[in-house]
Structure formats: structure tokens, C-alpha cells
Structure 1
Amino acid sequence: MTINEALRTAATVLEETSDTPRLDAELLMAEALGVSRSDLLLRHTGDVAPASFAALLERRRGHEPIAYILGHQEFFGLEFRVSPAVLIPRGDSEVVVEAALAARPDAGRVLDCGTGSGALLLTVLHRLPLAQGVGIDRSSEALAMAQGNAERLHLADRARMIAADWDQPDWIEPLGGAFDLILANPPYVEDAAPLAPSVHAHEPHGALFAGPEGLDAYRVLIPQLPALLTPGGVAVLEIGATQAEAVAAIAAEAGFAHRLHRDLGGRPRVVELSQQQ
């Protein structure tokens, strides 16, 4: 079977699993060949399909995310290594980066709470070449992934990855002082929320679920943020599309003013918190 024929068959097979079956098939075929997708389409469609493609296709049929199969995901123009130990960086989260850069383009110290792959922190540091950053996570596997991404992006000299959990006492002490900018994409999915099989069966539940309302992480983290911010410091948090009002109320109780940012679909996506004067 030629690659072109195999791609047509695979796209049909993946229609029940994926919203982008042809794209998925092409990415998996490129992985099987060890070439880029563009090189695949320009030079290899008439070649014989490699035997290794079948195993990759079967993994995708089982709802395993493409990013985990390939081992990487693009975010804000940068490539990040990913594994089931970390959430897959998504385009919606780019709003966090955009809001953060607009709010504090002069930030000297940046903290990322729940850094996962390091995508938020490392993207901001990439855009702010004079800034230093700290990423925290309670998962040692996530911290190792973030550290590896920092090294691959030549940012390891400006990014420290620290094991810390905001649910535990004294987690702030090892962070080394206050920050001009705090980033967070905390767990915010309701415990009973229906999720796609590719998410529920494969991505880390500890980074997804946060109680019956999806607000548990905000209730714990936001009241602790004033102790972590410099005067004029800003915190930028991703939220669920229906959580803007609830998170704003939690923030107001902690003494913050807030500004809402929406994603490209017009959905509430980010709250920017600043201390009221």
C-alpha cells in the first residue's frame, strides 16, 4: 500500500476518534517516516507505507492524544516536549502569555504555579530576555519535563524548577522572594464534568480536576498571592469559561482588582489580578 492510500484509509478510520482525522493521519505518518509533515506531502506520498505506521494509528484510535504519541506540542511558536505526566499546552492558554506580557513587559521575576511542561513560564522568559523565572509543581515528573524543556530552549540559566505545593504549609519560603508577575493554569475542571476520552483517559487528573465546582485551587491559591507579589505586581490566571464571576469574587475577597481577558472564541479565559490601591 502506498503512503497516499494508507493516509486515505487512516483518515476514514480516525473519523470516529478525531475532529481532524486527515491531519492526524499525516502527522502520524510523518512520525513513522522520521520526516516533517511538509516533507511527507511533498516527497513521499507515492512511497510504500512503513510498517510502523499501523501501531501509531492504533494508539490514536484508542484516543491517545497526538501530542503524547509524537512527544511534543507547539505553543506560542515554541516546541515543548510533553508526556502523560503533564497537560498538553493548548492554544487557549496563549491568552495567559499575551495578557502577562501586556501587563508587565518589565517583569524581572516571574513565577509559574503548576508549571507542568513549563510552557507558560518558558514562553514568557523567551519573550522577556532580562527576566528570571521560577516554576513550581508538586509532580517530580512534571518538573523533570519542564527542566528538559528549559534546557532545549536555552533558558535553563534563567529558569529554576522547584518542587512545591500550594496546598501545603511553608511552600512559599523556598521561592526566594516576591515576584513581579505570577502565572497559573491551575486545575479548574469540575469533578463530574464530562470530558473527551482523549483528555479523561490520558491527561493527568491532578492537573485537571478541582472539586465539585472546579474552584478549589483558586480558593487556596489566590489568598496566598499577595504575599508573593511585589508592589505593582500582577497575577495572570487561566479560568474555565463559566468561572469568571466566581473567581473574580474570590479575588476581590483577597484584595485584588481584576480584569477579564477572552480567548479567540470570545469565551472568558484569563483573569488578571492586581492589588487594589
Structure 2
Amino acid sequence: MRAAELLAQATKRLVEAEVPDPGRDARRLMAHVLKVPPGRLTLFLPEPVDPELQVIYLTLVERRADRVPVSHLVGRRMFYGREFLVTPEVLDPRPETETLIEVALTEPFGRVLDLGTGSGCILLTLLSEREGAVGYGCDISPAALNVAYWNRNALGLEGRAELLEGRWFEALKGVTERFDLIVSNPPYIAVNEMPFLAPEVRDHEPRLALTDEANGLTAYHAILAGYAKWLEPGGRLVVEIGMRQGMAVCDLFSAAGLRGVRLIPDLDGRDRVVVGTKPR
């Protein structure tokens, strides 16, 4: 079977399964199986596909029809121009989170702390973008930290990023320095919103990283209760939020003593990031 015929068959299957953007996903999976750059897949469509690769491809298509995320099937996800290892133990890096990166990079920083680092995509992207900066990534999940270790080493950041296990600031036992930037994409989905998530998220990403099993604000309370000890005067706290949490989190920031609190939308115009500065 030629690649074009196989691609048409796969796209039809994903359409039947009501997978969002089925043509895109069928192409991404084919590029992965054929080991060709996605942008050059068209050049290979007239060619026959080895029968063994056909079986592998159609198996992946069936798993995608079951709503397994593409990133879990190919093991990688692009984020801010870099490729990160992704497994079911970590959140899938999302384009919306790049808004947090953009906000963090608007001002200088030399020491950054990432709370709930997961795959490490936020911490490692910031260090890659800011030469000479160093930082810590903390996570309560050893399985998530294993993924972050792999991504750190793949990006050559072993000497600049340290990864620690523990809940929020409790992971920093023995650390003495303070930070001029603290960032976090914490679990902010309210428990009553979980049933309405896309199956790719609800059924295949770690629940611990998605919801606090309460109203979605628990993590912000924990972060704001401990940030003052670790953030330098003049330093910034930058967090990602749910699209209906903007005013609530801004109020929490102000009540915790942060100044210049701002609510920043993502490229789709949805509330996405809250940033505040510790007074000098």
C-alpha cells in the first residue's frame, strides 16, 4: 500500500472516532513511523510502505482513535521550539503555557524556581533562553522527575538545573539561596470540572497534576503561603491559571503582599497567567 492510501485510511478512521483534527494527527503519526520530518511527509506519500510499518502505523492510529494523546504515542512534544520527552507520568506541554514563558522572559533573572516542574519544560526552557541562569525544579512525583531528568540531560543543562523531590517549598530542604523568579503551572482544575475535560487529558494525563480535588485554588494558597521566604525583594512570582480563575488568583496575590499584580491572556484571549512582584 502506498503511503497516501494508508494516510487516507487512517484519517477516515480518526474521523469516525471523532478525534479533533484527524488529518493532522494521521500525518504526525505517519511521519513518526516513517522517521521523516513532518514537513517533508508529502514527498513520501507516493511511495509504498513496508508491510511491517503498515501494521505499526495502523496500531498507533487505533490507539489514537481510543484518544491516547499523540505525544504519548510518539514520546515527544514540541514546546517553545524544543523537543521534550513526554510520558503518561507528566502533563503534556501545551502552547498556552508558552504565555508563561513569554511573561517570565520580559525581565532579567539569574535564579529561577519551578514548583511542580513535571516534564521540566518550563524550567528548562527558561534556562535555555537565558544563558547563565540557574534553577531548581521541584515535584512531588518521582516518576515525573525521571522525565525531567531525561529532558534536562538531553538539553545539556545538568550543570544549571537541579531537580528535587517534594511538595512545593518542602523540596528545598538544605537550599540556602533565594530566587529572583518563581514560576509554576500547578494543578488548577476544580474537581467538578474534571468530567468535562477532553478524554486525552482526563483519561491519560496524571490526575495529581490536573486537579487539587477541590476548587482549583489549593495550590495557589500553598505557593503564596511560602513564597516570601524564597523570593528576593523585587523578584517575581508567575503562575499559570485556569481561564475562570483570573480575579480570584489576582486577589490572592495582592492579599499575600505582592505588588504590580497583572492578569495576562494567552494568544486566544483567555486569562492564562498572573504575575506579581515582591516589594523591595
Question: Is the TM-score greater than 0.5?
Answer: yes
Is this contact kept in 2: 1:183–1:237, CA < 8 A? Answer: yes
Alignment correspondent of 1:24: 25
In structure 2, list runs of 5 or more residues that go unmatched: none
List structure 1 runs of 4+ shifted beyond 4 angstroms: none
SS for the counterpart of 1:234 is: strand
Q: Which amino acid aligns with 2:121?
A: A
Deviation digits for residues 216-240 of structure 1, max 9, x if unmatched?
1111111211111011110110000
Give the counterpart of 2:145 among 143, 146, 155.
143
Q: Which amino acid aligns with 1:10?
A: A
CA distance in 1, matches of 2:244, 2:251: 13
Q: Which amino acid aligns with 1:14?
A: L
What's the CA shift for 1:176?
Answer: 3.2
Q: What RMSD, in angstroms, separates the aligned Cα atoms of the two structures?
A: 1.5
> After superposition, where does 1:9-48 map in structure 2 within 5 Å?
9-15=9-15, 16-48=17-49
What's the CA shift for 1:72?
Answer: 0.5
1:270 matched to 2:241 = no
Alignment correspondent of 1:80: 84
What's the CA shift for 1:44?
Answer: 4.0
CA distance in 2, matches of 1:88, 1:175: 29
Deviation digits for residues 130-178 of structure 1, max 9, x if unmatched?
1111000011111111111111111111000011202x8x444333321
Is this contact kept in 2: 1:111–1:133, CA < 8 A? Answer: yes
CA distance in 2, matches of 1:17, 1:55: 17
CA distance in 2, matches of 1:179, 1:259: 20
SS for the counterpart of 1:188 is: coil
Aligned residues: 273
How much identity, in percent, do the aligned residues show? 40
Q: Which amino acid aligns with 1:274?
A: T
SS for the counterpart of 2:27 is: helix
> After superposition, where does 1:125-274 map in structure 2 within 5 Å?
125-166=127-168, 170-193=170-193, 194-257=196-259, 258-274=261-277
Tell me whether 109-118 or 247-256 shows the greater mean CA deviation. 247-256
TM-score, scaled relative to structure 2: 0.93
SS for the counterpart of 1:213 is: coil
Q: Which amino acid aligns with 2:241?
A: I
Q: Which amino acid aligns with 2:205?
A: E
TM-score, scaled relative to structure 1: 0.94
CA distance in 2, matches of 1:188, 1:24: 28
1:55 matched to 2:59 = yes
SS for the counterpart of 2:43 is: helix
SS for the counterpart of 1:23 is: helix
SS for the counterpart of 1:116 is: coil
Tell me whether 263-272 or 37-46 shows the greater mean CA deviation. 37-46
CA distance in 2, matches of 1:161, 1:180: 18
Q: Which amino acid aligns with 2:278?
A: Q
In structure 1, list runs of 5 or more residues that go unmatched: none
Q: Which amino acid aligns with 1:176?
A: T
What's the CA shift for 1:10?
Answer: 1.1
SS for the counterpart of 1:265 is: coil
Deviation digits for residues 195-220 of structure 1, max 9, x if unmatched?
11111110000000023321111111
